[in-house]
Amino acid sequence: MSVASPNPALALQSKRWNGLRHLLEREGPFCKGDFSPSPDNLEFLQTKCKVLVIGAGGLGCELLKDLALVGFGDLHVIDMDTIELSNLNRQFLFRRSDIGASKAECAARFINGRVPTCRVTPHFKRIQDFDETFYSQFHLIVCGLDSIVARRWINGMLLSMLRYEDGSIDVSSIVPMIDGGTEGFKGNARVILPGFTACIECTLDLFPPQVNYPLCTIANTPRLPEHCIEYVKLIQWDKESPFNSVPLDGDDPQHIGWIYERSLERASEFNITGITYRLVQGVIKHIIPAVASTNAVIAAACALEVFKLATSCYDSMANYLNFNDLDGIYTYTYEAEKSETCLACSNTPQLLPIEDPNTTTLEDVIKLLCESAKYQLKSPALTTVTKEGKQKTLYLGTVKSIEQATRKNLTQSLGELGLEDGQQLTVTDITSPTAITLQLKYQANEVEMI
């Protein structure tokens, strides 16, 4: 059902916004020095300010609601997911009839129908489907994501949009990012001013390690109940082909039940305890515990920062908020420092220390880039420029023909590949929309190359 757009002049005069007028139309003891109290501030929020919300899940629903009710009139939301039954207990913009439909489209339709002064434009796509032209149209971007890869990608996009004049950042090219995250009773909110404050990559080691179980452990020496579940999911499902060889559906009770029973059998074989139906669901669907109240608190903190940045009525948070209500309520705010060796925002090639190029293989380098807390890449592709000035692909795993052609390089040492001390490697990965540059630094000054 379409909703007629309200008259902008009448909307601004509504008593709904009296509280905002007290903040935006008069000075206060905590106002920033460049704040100018005026009715134009509210008009800017409702008619000119464009805000992008990334994610329409537990945090995203709260963010859309908060931003709409605080006066923002032009919101966009991106989400590639569809609504599942398990979403309905906390993602309150959705109803049972919405199951299977786009989260972005249903959330936008709900807000548009309930808050007449707000227009939400949905985008049922991935964030990677848009380029710099799309993201540069927004005044602010606020993230309610459950993916570290997606956070790193949008962080890289905003950094790539920065323009420089005489070595200084053109402030008009900065699009601030407000990022929120929750896990159970814990959460965090942060403000990122690309180029000025710590970015996602600067504090990458703050994220919890991503759990991946080696296949050899799963198949041969399982020690945890999760190992048994992963074995059934990855090996037995394809081997036994239950339910007429249909793909595994984490929302199908029959499929979960089958995984549960087979996992119990394997756990019994290796004297492992702790298999539960709930644990099976969590492993199969990679479920992160979600608490509605935590989502509400973190979304409110993020929405407040969006409001402060959009209006300049108060200093924004500097710059990282921790929240924990597991045992009482605890919050702590501190300033995360910008890293001089950040891969994303330092603007200089970072050194990649190598102990011995004659014993370090290209596969060792790729393993380091994936497992090191500093890099945490997923599937890096490496290229370099030879002394003759020619581009050389060292390894690319995402294109089958190129992977086959470069696979032999994996077992060769850096010396055998002709890579010299100080030579630069260009690395691309799904965690960033742009390439990063690493400079080889051999630990011994006098290394005899093979």
Q: Per residue in 290-332, pLDDT tens?
A: 788 999 999 999 999 999 999 988 888 989 999 998 888 899 9
How far apart (Å, rounded) are the C-alpha atoms in residues 96 and 170? 47
CA atoms in the 13 A half-sphere facing the CB of 75: 36
Q: In the prediction, which pLDDT does 74 show?
A: 95
pLDDT over 70 at 67, yes or no: yes
pTM of the model: 0.80
Confidence label for 205 from pLDDT (cuts 50, 70 and 90) = confident
pLDDT over 80 at 207, yes or no: no
Which residues have a Cβ under 8 Å from the Cβ of 88 and sit 6 or more positions away?
94, 95, 96, 99
Q: In the prediction, which pLDDT does 344 show?
A: 85
Q: What percent of the chain has pLDDT over 70?
A: 92
**Choosing from 216, 228, 302, 313, which is the catalytic residue?**
216
Minimum mean pLDDT range among 56-60, 251-255, 360-364: 251-255
Q: In the prediction, which pLDDT does 1 show?
A: 43
Q: In the prediction, which pLDDT does 404 show?
A: 86
pLDDT over 80 at 286, yes or no: no
Number of Cβ atoms within 10 Å of the Cβ of 236:
17
For residue 442, give the H/E element and its range.
strand 436-442
Minimum mean pLDDT range among 75-79, 96-100, 285-289: 285-289
pLDDT over 90 at 61, yes or no: yes
Mean pLDDT within 100-127: 94
Q: In the prediction, which pLDDT does 288 show?
A: 67
Out of 3.40.640.10, 1.10.10.520, 3.90.650.10, 3.30.2420.10, select the CATH number for domain 215-285: 1.10.10.520
Q: What percent of the chain has pLDDT over 90?
A: 40
Q: In the prediction, which pLDDT does 305 show?
A: 96
Closest by CA position to 112, among listed 410, 104, 42: 104
Find out whether 175 and 310 touch, Cβ atoms under 8 Å.
no
pLDDT over 60 at 445, yes or no: no
How far apart (Å, rounded) are the C-alpha atoms in residues 391 and 123? 37
Q: Where does CATH 3.40.50.720 sit in the chain?
A: 19-184+291-317
345 assigned to active site: no
pLDDT over 60 at 6, yes or no: no
Mean pLDDT within 99-121: 94
Closest by CA position to 84, among listed 275, 257, 290, 234: 290
Q: In the prediction, which pLDDT does 356 show?
A: 87
Q: Considering the domain 19-184+291-317, what is its CATH architecture?
A: 3-Layer(aba) Sandwich (3.40)
DSSP string spanning 109-126?
Answer: HHHHHH-TT-EEEEE-S-
pLDDT over 60 at 3, yes or no: no
pLDDT over 60 at 126, yes or no: yes
Find out whether 323 and 190 touch, Cβ atoms under 8 Å.
no
Out of 1.10.3720.10, 3.10.290.20, 3.30.360.10, 2.40.110.10, select the CATH number for domain 350-442: 3.10.290.20
Number of Cβ atoms within 10 Å of the Cβ of 405:
13
Minimum mean pLDDT range among 128-132, 351-355, 384-388: 384-388
Q: What is the pLDDT of residues 219-259, one digit of tens each?
A: 777 888 889 998 999 889 888 888 887 888 887 889 999 99
Confidence label for 35 from pLDDT (cuts 50, 70 and 90) = confident
Q: Where does CATH 1.10.10.520 sit in the chain?
A: 215-285
4 or 196, which is more confident: 196
Q: Where does CATH 3.10.290.20 sit in the chain?
A: 350-442
Find out whether 139 and 175 touch, Cβ atoms under 8 Å.
yes
Q: What is the pLDDT of residues 393-416, one digit of tens each?
A: 999 887 778 888 888 988 888 888
